[in-house]
Amino acid sequence: MTSGYILVTGGAGYIGSHTTLCLLQNGYKVIIVDNLCNSYSESISRVKDISGCKSSDLLFFKLSVNNKKKLSAVFNKYPIDAVIHFAGLKSVSESIRDPLSYYHNNVTATCTLLECMEAAGCYKIVFSSSATVYGNAKDEFIKEDAPVSPLTPYGRSKLMCEEVIKDSCISNPSMCAAILRYFNPVGCHKSGLIGENPKNAPNNLMPCVTDAMMKKVPMKLYGEDYATHDGTAVRDFIHVEDLAAGHLAALRKLQSIQVSFCKIYNMGNGVGSSVKEVIFTMETVTGVTVPFVVSPRRPGDAEKVVACPDRAFSELKWKPVKKLEDMCSSAWNWKYSNPDGYKMEKKMNFGGNHKVMLTKLKKNFSFIDHISISRAA
């Protein structure tokens, strides 16, 4: 444990908020930097409520990581022992339409962050990367040394960030980095208070599934002609709470190291599930139909991406514990409890009291009790 703060960029977002909660529950103090371009400050309020932390243990600054002047001021004012870097744009399809935004917000911002870290004498970073860097991998289970060939500007921006961090570690013997390549994070916190709530139209599978269930409007299933067992794309899904625990494990690994270090870790279950399997599991767990229509494949979508996570299991002493059923039930619990996402509280006027909010929501949605107790615990 350290006496300083852990700086979490993008900490108001989906994975960032869950990781912040995990850090607080394990005795860390956190500073969140987030420009809220695709997230809500309400998630931070809810993290405070769930954790019961002191106000001084969780600080928030609304700013872009690209704002070097303001970011440097944060580093200069507070003792920061390490950084977990989530901030960045993450839509595959959007990156194809607007690649320059992705290179600016992902790559340039990472350079700015590293410059601020070095100036402040902060040399430990956990980086949020992606399995999209592997592209159409040929191996059944992808290892960290597999060839990288990202198919989209988003994937290329993540790979560029990795290279920037690697080069920083080579040039500065004090720098230590853990690069975490996520496979497919899904699910939400068991409380139902924080979850995945993109401001724009959802691109990830699970929000599309729960939107279709809630609105009774068919979602698009992109591609039914892949060379997989049911024709739909196969992915390695990991519960976001397991992924948050993986960040904690990576942070502890870096804190135990006194020499230059930079290593890549796959963060996945090592089990592939197809899009249809996710849909049918969701229907089985909840008893609610998931309407969908088959559409053509999307550009940039790989056929099968499944991790070999053995390195993370052995070196980080971490292993995911939640199953696909847990992922589906917790995602539906979040959506059913918060049909308008983080806008729900203002709309229903609960005055910032999330315990009151959850009590009232349970009265309105009888399904929540069943999910919270039997599935998301």
Q: Given a cut of 60, is residue 238 above it in pLDDT?
A: yes
- Residue 173 reports pLDDT greater than 50: yes
pLDDT of 370: 36
Rounded CA Rg of the chain: 20
The pLDDT tens digits of the residues spanning 289-302 come to 999 999 999 887 88
Predicted local confidence at residue 25, as pLDDT: 97
What's the rounded Cα separation, in Å, for the pair 244 and 239?
Answer: 9
Query: Measuring CA to CA, which residue among 27, 34, 42, 40 is closest to residue 9?
Result: 34
The amino acid that residue 311 corresponds to is: R
3 state DSSP class of 356: helix
Per residue in 16-61, pLDDT (tens digit) is 999 999 999 999 999 999 999 999 999 999 999 999 999 999 999 9
In tens, the pLDDT along 109-156 reads 999 999 999 999 999 999 999 999 998 888 889 999 999 999 999 999
User: Rounded distance, CA 333 to CA 256, Å?
Assistant: 37
What's residue 204's pLDDT? 86
Cα distances from 114 to residues 121, 164, 182, 306, in angstroms, run 10, 9, 21, 30
**Mean pLDDT over each residue of the chain, to the nearest integer:** 90
Domains and CATH numbers, the chain: 5-187+237-267 (3.40.50.720)
Query: Residue 367 above 80 pLDDT?
Result: no
pLDDT of 259 over the 90 cut: no
Q: Say how far apart CA 262 and CA 276 lie, in whole Å.
A: 37
In this predicted structure, what is the pLDDT of residue 371?
35
Largest CA distance in the chain: 58
Q: Give the pLDDT confidence score for residue 138 in this predicted structure.
A: 83
pLDDT computed for residue 350 by the predictor: 42
| 209-222 tens-digit pLDDT | 999 999 999 999 99
Active site residues: 154
Burial 246-264 (b: 16+ CB within 10 A, else e): bbbbbbebbeeeeeebbbb
Q: Which of 56, 1, 70, 9 is nearest to 37 (CA)?
A: 9
pLDDT of residue 136: 84
pLDDT of 324-350, one tens digit each? 999 999 999 999 999 999 985 444 444
Residue pLDDT, tens place only, 59-108:
999 999 999 999 999 999 999 999 999 999 988 889 999 999 999 999 99
Model confidence pTM above 0.85 = yes
* Amino acid, single-letter form, for residue 228: T
* Backbone angle region of 360, left / alpha / beta, with phi > 0 → left and psi within -120 to 50 → alpha: alpha
Least confident of 204-208, 260-264, 281-285, 353-357: 353-357
